[in-house]
């Protein structure tokens, strides 16, 4: 048998590696096409490489093409797949480095093309200095630009989601004067509730980053082939570098052209085993697919490396004759904004209302350690619980060091449909260097329980 993989990052290479563990080269030939220069890398780590927390690009690469080849996977870099023919079981790729065309037949096809950045019409300029942050090649291009002569001094980051706020911090650390533009009322408006988003905005401004909310961009000004400013209704903002953080959409152009099914989110539709619906031997995983939200039951597009690796693993096991499933997602995510940690799981208030839930909320402030222990810092936890049952629907955390990873305990509670009253008795660890005697999670659960009882 032959497996052809389209996309050499998390989902594609996880699938290839799992298939190879179960079937040797004499049982399964594996060819992987990757249009970039790298395989199995952490795109999430790019802002930290730009900002200097990660000192070497190589540290972001989990497995090089050489490592995959030693495992019996024929990795072909700088090859872009341009055609999929499901009926003829054929893939056609263009050799971007050497020229020419490559054709490969397949018994199994792994579609792992990831996502593409959202780029509005006004960003379609030919000037240098305008970047997305999607691949390791993008990160390398930004590093090269920051080291160019004359060195950039002003930066505008457009979009206040995860990548936007992380890149704003990274460029600030590189010594640039940074402005963050966000079309919503607060940064991270699609991720957290407005009251939490305002805390994020305060933290960003406190570091010296100019935050402009409810912002609209008209165009980009250029001069001599370089970007010079971002034009808004309020005037022009000087910019020697512009970073686009407007989100991503599933990269399904090839799939659509091949007649593969795409869902309402724009992602490929798969079953629980990551097989593309209505096909035989065609699999998909990662940022190009849509997943099922375990609370609402609705299809969602959540582009995260955690899901990509899990889904790729599931696909690889199944195409090699095993059995595994990917049940869905609950929207758990975490990021760091300057000194502030921000985390969420489950539904926000807006998402809960859209799904038809009646709910109550509870918001508490506590500390990461016992208040008397050195290094204790404040944190805020917000819980959203179903009004009648008290089932935990979602949670958000904002705080400094040691705050955000508490979201994992809350994610487990959401995943297992625990009520906030059940959570009040959770046997969480305690010692003064790690938590107060009443952990903030327990305090929040108690307050949410009171809110549920009052609403009955």
The catalytically annotated residue of 1, 44, 62, 118 is 44
Q: Are 398 and 340 in contact (CB under 8 A)?
A: yes
CB 104 within 8 A of CB 87: no
Residue 167 contacts residue 187 (beta carbons within 8 Å) = no
- Interatomic CA distance for residues 109 and 104, integer angstroms: 11
- SS3 of the chain: the string is CEEEEECCCHHHHHHHHHHHHHCCCCCCEEEEEECCCCCCECHHHHHHHHHCCCCCHHHHECCCHHHHHHCCEEEEECEEEEEEECCCCEEEEEECCCCCEEEEECCEEEECCCEEECCCHHHCCCCECEECCCCHHHHHHHHHHHCCCCCCCEEEEECCCHHHHHHHHHHHHCCCEEEEEECCCCCCCCCCCHHHHHHHHHHHHHCCCEEEECCCCCEEEEECCEEEEEEECCEEEECCEEEECCCEEECCHHHHHCCCCECCCCCECECCCCEECCCCCEEECCCCECEEECCCCCEECCCCHHHHHHHHHHHHHHHCCCCCCCCCECCCEEEEECCEEEEEEECCHHHHHHCCCCEEEEEEEEECCCCCCCCCCEEEEEEEEECCCCEEEEEEEEECCCCHHHHHHHHHHHHCCCEHHHHCCCCCCCCCCCCCCCCHHHHHHHHHHHHHHHHC
Report the first-to-last Cα separation within the chain, whole angstroms. 60
Active site residue 338: no
Return the active site residues: 44
């Amino acid at each position: 048998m032959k497996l052809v993989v389209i996309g050499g990052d998390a989902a594609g290479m996880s699938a290839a590696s799992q298939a190879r563990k179960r079937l040797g080269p004499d049982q399964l030939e594996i060819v992987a096409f990757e249009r970039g220069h790298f395989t199995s890398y952490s795109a999430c780590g790019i802002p930290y490489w730009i900002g200097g927390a990660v000192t070497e690009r190589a540290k972001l690469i989990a497995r090089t093409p050489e490592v995959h080849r030693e495992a019996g996977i024929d990795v072909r870099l700088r090859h872009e797949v341009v055609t999929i023919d499901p009926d003829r079981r054929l893939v056609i790729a263009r050799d971007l480095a050497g020229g020419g065309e490559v054709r490969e037949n397949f018994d199994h096809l792994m579609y792992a093309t990831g996502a593409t950045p959202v780029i509005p019409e006004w960003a379609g300029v030919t000037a240098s200095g305008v970047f997305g942050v999607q691949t390791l090649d993008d990160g390398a291009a930004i590093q090269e630009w920051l080291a160019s002569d004359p060195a950039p001094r002003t930066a505008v980051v457009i979009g206040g989601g995860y990548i936007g706020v992380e890149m704003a911090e990274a460029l600030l650390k590189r010594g640039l004067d940074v402005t963050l533009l966000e079309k919503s009322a607060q940064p991270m408006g699609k991720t957290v509730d407005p009251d939490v988003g305002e805390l994020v905005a305060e933290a960003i401004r406190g570091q010296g980053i100019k935050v402009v909310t409810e912002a609209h961009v008209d165009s980009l000004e250029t001069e001599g082939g370089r970007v010079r400013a971002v034009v808004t209704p309020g005037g022009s903002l000087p910019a020697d570098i512009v970073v686009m953080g407007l989100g991503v959409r599933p990269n399904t152009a090839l799939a659509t052209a091949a007649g593969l099914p795409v869902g309402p989110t724009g992602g490929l539709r798969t079953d629980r085993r990551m097989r593309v619906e209505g096909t035989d031997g065609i699999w998909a995983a990662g940022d190009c697919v849509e997943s099922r939200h375990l609370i609402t039951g609705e299809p969602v597009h959540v582009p995260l490396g955690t899901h990509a690796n899990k889904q790729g693993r599931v696909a690889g096991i199944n195409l090699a004759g095993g059995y595994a499933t990917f049940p869905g997602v609950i929207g758990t995510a975490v990021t760091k904004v300057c000194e502030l940690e921000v985390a969420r799981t489950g539904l926000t208030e807006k998402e809960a209302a859209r799904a038809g839930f009646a709910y109550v909320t509870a918001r508490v402030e506590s500390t990461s350690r016992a208040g008397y222990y050195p290094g204790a810092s404040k944190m805020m936890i917000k819980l959203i619980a179903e009004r009648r049952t008290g089932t935990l629907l979602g949670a958000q955390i904002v705080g400094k060091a040691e705050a955000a990873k508490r979201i994992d305990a809350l994610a487990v509670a959401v995943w297992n449909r625990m009520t906030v009253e059940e959570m009040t008795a959770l046997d969480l660890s305690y010692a003064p260097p790690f938590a107060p005697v009443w952990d903030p999670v327990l305090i929040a659960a108690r307050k949410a329980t009171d809110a549920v009882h009052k609403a009955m």
